[in-house]
A and B are shown apart, each in its own frame.
Chain A
Amino acid sequence: GAGVSQSPSNKVTEKGKDVELRCDPISGHTALYWYRQSLGQGLEFLIYFQGNSAPDKSGLPSDRFSAERTGGSVSTLTIQRTQQEDSAVYLCASSLGLGVTQYFGPGTRLTVL
């Protein structure tokens, strides 16, 4: 596609359930980033991929959060045993190689009841 796509657009889940969020980067972009945007706050970095490897996982808030990227393209962010504080918009971005400018997807709004 022309831009970064994310699915689902919205996800409502119950506390304790696992969720998977998907990101499709711009074709050819080797770098991929996940951010979290909580209500009233800026964007918080979670993890960065270069190809299929994740050189920087420093932003993952707990071991309930994990992410993978396969084939150097699609990435999945998994949150296990969701908590109410996980409710946020999860944004994905990609860039060409180590390019400076990141291009963002529309995000997934996660609501944990």
Chain B
Amino acid sequence: AQTVTQSQPEMSVQEAETVTLSCTYDTSESDYYLFWYKQPPSRQMILVIRQEAYKQQNATENRFSVNFQKAAKSFSLKISDSQLGDAAMYFCAYRSSTSGTYKYIFGTGTRLKVLA
């Protein structure tokens, strides 16, 4: 069975600085999808970034980028120029590409604090 591990329960970053959140996963599959979701206090889960395992190029969305290391089964999120609005829980998630298995498997999350 697949598992997702986020080893940093909490991280802090100064406003305008860069922070990296870690995620590792375990799978025997070769094709899958990885995600980072943001959950602010409103509880609304917001998609930050998505990566297809068959793509070697790391995904980027504005200030957010990932470092996808398939062999190491690592999927870290880098937030550049951190803003106060980035403060939230961040969850890493895995989705198989196998037909019939569409659920996400989530890590336990990292709480990001942004210091003014």
Contacts and interface: CB of A to CB of B under 8 A. Distances in A.
A69 B35 CA distance: 27
Contacts of B37: 104
Interface string A33-51: 1010000111111001000
A31 B95 CA distance: 15
Contacts, number: 56
A42 B109 CA distance: 6
A107 B102 contact: no
Interface size class of B (residues with CB under 8 A): 20 to 34
A42 B107 contact: yes
B61 to A, nearest CB: 13
B105 A45 contact: yes
Of residues A41, A42, A98, A103, which shows the largest number of chain B Cβ atoms within 10 Å of its Cβ? Answer: A42
Given A93-B45, A101-B47, A109-B43, 16 more contacts: A33-B103, A33-B104, A35-B104, A41-B108, A42-B4, A42-B106, A43-B106, A45-B104, A45-B105, A48-B103, A55-B100, A56-B102, A89-B43, A102-B104, A106-B43, A107-B43
